[in-house]
Amino acid sequence: MWEQVLSTVEEVNNFLNGIVWGWPVVILILGTGILLTVRTKFLQVRKFGESLNTTIVPTLKSLGKKREKDSRVKSVSQFEAFSTAISGTVGTGNIVGVVSAILTGGPGAVFWMWISAFFGMVTNYSENVLGLYFRKKDKDGNLSGGSFYYIANGLKWKWLAYCAAIFCVFAAIGMSGVQTNKISGTLTEALTRVWTAENAMTIKLIIGVIVAALTAVIIIGGIQRIGKVTSMLVPFMSLLFIIMSLIAIIIHFDQVPKAFGLIFEKAFNFQAAGGGILGYSFAQVIKKGMARGVFSNEAGLGSSVIAHSASETREPVKQGLWGVFEVFFDTFIICTLTSLTFLTTFDLNTLTADMDDSVMAMSLFSTNFGTFGVAVFSIILPLFAFTTIIAWSYYGEKAIEFCFGWVSEKKRKYIIIAFKIVYVLLIAVSAAIHGELIWAIDDTFNGLMAVPNLICLIALSGLVAKITKNYFDRKKGKRLEPMLSAYPDMNEEFKQDIMTDNLEMK
C-alpha cells in the first residue's frame, strides 16, 4: 500500500518536474538574469568591489565588537540576515547536490551552475532590493518581506502572490526533508562503519528525532534566535569546508587543469560522454546545472529575500549588495570547491550515474583523509543541512503569515504554531524516506516557487534600476528624495532614521 502511494507520488512529480524544469523555465531563469543585468548595467561586475567593501569586509572588521541594538524596529543585523539567508542557500546542495549534478549531468553541469550564478548575482540583488522596498512592519515593529509582498504590492497581482506563498510553504517542507534525509544518510553511513548495516533504519529515525527536537528549540525563538544561531554556525562550517577542500585539491593539484578542461569541454557536449558516466546530453547538462545551481544559490526563487527583509538596514540597495556576495560565495566558492575536489579525486570512467550521491560525497573526504575525513564530513554536512532547515522554517512561517493575513492576529499565531509543529514532525519522518524522491519533489516546488517571482522581477525590473540609480546618485552627493520604501509613511520614517544615524556618526 505504502509503496503504491510512493510510486504514484513519484509518477505525478516526474510529470510536473518535466514541465517545471522544462526549457521554458530554464529560459525564464536565464532571461530574467540577463534582463536585470542589462537594466542595472552589469551591476554584479561594476559594483562587485563595493559589494565586498560594504558587506563582508566591514563585518569581518567588526567581529568581536558589541552591536548596538536598534530599538526602533524588531530586526536583525545585516550580517545576521545574511547568515540566515546564506544558511538557507549553503546546504547539501553545495556538496551532495553538486556531486549529484556531476554524476547525472556530467562535469559540464558545473559550467551551467556558474552561468546561472553570474546572472543570479543580480537576480538575488534585485530580489533583496524589492523585498526591502515593499516589506511591511507590524504594530510590534516586526519587519516582513518576500516575493509575495512585492508581487502583491508592486505587481498588484494578489492571486499570484498567494500562489508564490503556497509554493514557498511546500518548498520549505520539501527543503527540510531533503536536508534531514542527507543528515541521516551521512551520519548513518558513518555510524554503520562502526555498527552493522542492519541498524541503519533505527539510526536514521533516531537522527531524525534529534534534528527535529533541535529545530523546534531554535525556531520557537523566531528570526532573532535563528539569526544568532546561523551567524555563529555559518562562518565556522564554511571555513572548515573551504580548508578541507583546498587541502584535497592541493593533494591532487596536477589534476586541476584536467578538471577545468572537462568542465568546459562537456558544457557543450551534444552526445553522451564516453567512459563510465553514460547518457547525458547537452540538454541534460544544462538542466542539471541550472536546477542544481538554483537549488544551491536560490537566486530567482524569492526565498532568501525573506530573511534579508528582516534586516535593520533602511537602504534596499545596501542589503541588495549582500545578495550579490551571497550568490558569489555560494556557487563560485563553495560549489566550485566541491566540483574541483570531486573531479580531481575520482576517475570519471569508474563512475556511473546510479551511484548514491551521499555516499560519493562522503567518499570525497574519506578518500583524501581516511577516517579523519569521515569524521569531519560527518560534522560539516549536518551543520550545512541543519542551518538550511532552520532558515527555511522561517521562510515557511512568513509565507503562512502572508497567506492568513486576513484572519485575526490571535488565529494567525495559532496557525503559525500548527505549521511549526507539522514542520518539525515531518523532519523526523523524512529521515527514513528514500532520498531521491524527496529531492525530486523539492526540485519541483522550487521551480513552482520561482515562476511567480521571476515574472514579477521582469515586470518590476525598471523599478529595480530606478532604486539602484537613486541610491548611487545620492552617494555621489546628489540631493534626491531617498527611495527606501514603497509606502510614504515608512519611507519618511526610514529617511528620518538615516538622518539620525548620520548625525550620530558625526
Can you read off the three cell numbers belonging to residue 321? 549588495
User: 84: how many CB neighbours lie within 10 A of its CB?
Assistant: 29
Instruction: Yes or no: say if 362 and 186 are a contact pair by the CB < 8 Å rule.
Output: yes
- The 10s digit of each residue's pLDDT in 189-227 is 666 655 555 666 777 777 778 888 888 877 776 666 676
The whole-number average pLDDT for the span 28-42 is: 91
Domain ranges, ordered by start, for the chain = 2-61+73-476
Q: Phi and psi dihedrals of 40, rounded to 5?
A: -100, 10
Instruction: Yes or no: say if 454 and 29 are a contact pair by the CB < 8 Å rule.
Output: yes
Can you read off the three cell numbers belonging to residue 254? 596536477
State residue 505's pLDDT score: 46
Q: Is the pLDDT of residue 30 over 50?
A: yes
The whole-number average pLDDT for the span 490-497 is: 87
Out of 17-21, 22-26, 105-109, 189-193, which region has the weakest mean confidence (pLDDT)?
189-193
Q: Which residue has the higher pLDDT, 463 or 93?
A: 463
Q: Is the pLDDT of residue 83 over 80?
A: no
State residue 348's pLDDT score: 76
Task: State how far the Cα of 24 lies from the Cα of 243, in Å rounded to an integer.
Answer: 39
State residue 417's pLDDT score: 87
Q: Report in angstroms the alpha-carbon separations of 121 from 8, 317, 373.
A: 37, 13, 32
Q: What is the DSSP string of 196-237?
A: -GGGHHHHHHHHHHHHHHHHHHHHTTHHHHHHHHHHHHHHHH
State residue 27's pLDDT score: 80
Q: Which residue has the higher pLDDT, 456 or 356?
A: 456
State residue 32's pLDDT score: 92
State residue 276's pLDDT score: 39
* Confidence tier at 272 by pLDDT (50, 70, 90): very low
Region 2-61+73-476: CATH code: 1.20.1740.10
Q: Is the pLDDT of residue 344 over 70?
A: yes
* Confidence tier at 280 by pLDDT (50, 70, 90): very low
For the chain, give the percent of residues with pLDDT over 70.
76
State residue 18's pLDDT score: 75
The whole-number average pLDDT for the span 366-379 is: 85
* Confidence tier at 381 by pLDDT (50, 70, 90): confident
Q: Which residue has the higher pLDDT, 201 or 269?
A: 201
State residue 271's pLDDT score: 42
State residue 494's pLDDT score: 87
Task: State how far the Cα of 365 lies from the Cα of 370, in Å rounded to an integer.
Answer: 7
Length of the chain: 506
The whole-number average pLDDT for the span 235-251 is: 87
Instruction: Yes or no: say if 245 and 337 are a contact pair by the CB < 8 Å rule.
Output: yes
What mean pLDDT value characterizes the chain? 79
**Which range in 12-16, 74-78, 249-253 is most confidently predicted, on average pLDDT?**
249-253
| Residue found under cell 539620525 | 500
- Residue 137: its H or E element: strand 136-137
Which value, to the nearest 10 degrees, does the dihedral of the CA atoms of residues 204, 106, 337, 389 take? Answer: -30
- Give the type of residue at 313: T
The whole-number average pLDDT for the span 129-142 is: 86
Q: Which residue has the higher pLDDT, 386 or 502?
A: 386
Q: Is the pLDDT of residue 151 over 90?
A: yes
Out of 37-41, 202-206, 213-217, 410-414, which region has the weakest mean confidence (pLDDT)?
202-206
Out of 213-217, 244-248, 253-257, which region has the weakest mean confidence (pLDDT)?
213-217
Task: State how far the Cα of 115 lies from the Cα of 120, in Å rounded to an integer.
Answer: 8
State residue 470's pLDDT score: 94
Task: State how far the Cα of 31 lies from the Cα of 119, in Å rounded to an integer.
Answer: 9
- ∠ CA 289-290-294 to the nearest 5 degrees? 115
Q: Is the pLDDT of residue 40 over 90?
A: yes
Task: State how far the Cα of 293 lies from the Cα of 134, in Å rounded to an integer.
Answer: 27
* Confidence tier at 279 by pLDDT (50, 70, 90): very low
Q: Which residues pair with 311 in a beta bridge?
A: 76
Q: Is the pLDDT of residue 504 over 60?
A: no
Q: What pTM does this model have?
A: 0.84
Instruction: Yes or no: say if 253 and 373 are a contact pair by the CB < 8 Å rule.
Output: no
Out of 45-49, 277-281, 393-397, which region has the weakest mean confidence (pLDDT)?
277-281
Out of 50-54, 394-398, 431-435, which region has the weakest mean confidence (pLDDT)?
431-435
Q: Is the pLDDT of residue 269 over 80?
A: no
